[in-house]
Amino acid sequence: MKRYLRPTAFVDAPFGLDGRVARLAGGLVWFSAVEIIADEGGRRVSSELVPVSDIAAAIAGDGEAEAAWRRICAPRPSLRLGERMVRLDQPQVMGILNLTPDSFSDGGRYLGDPAAAASAGVALAADGAAIVDVGGESTRPGAATVWEGDEIERVAPVIRAMAAGGVAVSIDTRKAAVMEAAVGAGAALINDVSALGYDPRSLEVAARAGCPVALMHHKGDPKTMQQDPRYGDVLLEVYDWLEDRIAAAEAAGIARDRLIVDPGIGFGKALRHNLQLLNGLALFHGLGCPLLLGASRKRIIGALSNEAPVDQRLGGSVALALHGAQMGAQLLRVHDVAETMQAIRVWRGLRDEALTPIF
């Protein structure tokens, strides 16, 4: 039997609650209870809500659960992205810059115009994005694979210009050759929707690059991933899958403190699966890695708002970003940086006031 720990029962502040609350991953969120979920043979067999004050006794002798508890409470070190350090004791925004003809949201806007694309990336950073995520291949449902040479031609000059201007850049790619070219051009983070599983060389290339790596869960490839995806218990299955990819990365020489995890909202998931992952998001802190949430403008928002088209999903995108912040997500990958930053600043103001002692 395997037990999973999900922080819950969040509180405004820890004052006067010594021993009864815990800080989530060294961030701005405290919680007072843990849901212990037991799984046996791939089936959830029990769920128990345990106060933080009793958690040590409840998991005593279960080495796996004890390790997860330590990881839940451990601060996440800052990300070193070239010359920049990105602190993870508060939510940070990752801005999206698509250099494709067919991305579901803004494909084609900057294709073939590296100068305009680089200017757009610099603008995202000026709006508050700590990282700008550059992609040259669409991974929307139904998207076709792009030849790596074309992908490199799209992203490398833009990354080079942005990095030269002091922007912290990540490369959104599944291909080892693109990773190499992007890192050579100045990318300081690898964001792989296949969790280094698509290209046989990716693990080796990412290990040699020495930069942080984001591992995202997916089921199937972009062409087929939304064709009737099925899970037994999506929350636990995605957790186990990411745990296995962390182990593969570590075996390849990538230290856990360089890894970021992403549950992959919309990548091989139906609406219910996405909602279950979002509701249980805090579970993933048990993996001990920074948590990245990418839900901006995705199908889940349209499905819950009268089929709103992509360009009318700002409200839902901000709502999901704030949900991620409240669940302790350290990185929020979004299209609408300025609007998300405003929401996060308001959220941060509420947290700062709650964490200011009044007695």
What is the 3 state secondary structure string of the chain?
CEEEEEEEEEECCCCCCCCCCEECCCCCCEEEEEEEEEEECCEEEEEEEEEHHHHHHHHCCCHHHHHHHHHHHCCCCCEEECCEEECCCCCEEEEEEECCCCCCCCCCCCCCCHHHHHHHHHHHHHCCCCEEEEECCCCCCCCCCCCHHHHHHHHHHHHHHHHHCCCCEEEECCCHHHHHHHHHHCCCEEEECCCCCCCCCHHHHHHHHCCCEEEECCCCCCCCCCCCCCCCCHHHHHHHHHHHHHHHHHHCCCCHHHEEEECCCCCCCCHHHHHHHHHCHHHHHHHCCCEEECCCCCHHHHHCCCCCCHHHCHHHHHHHHHHHHHCCCCEEEECCHHHHHHHHHHHHHHHHHHCCCCC
Residues designated as active site: 298, 333
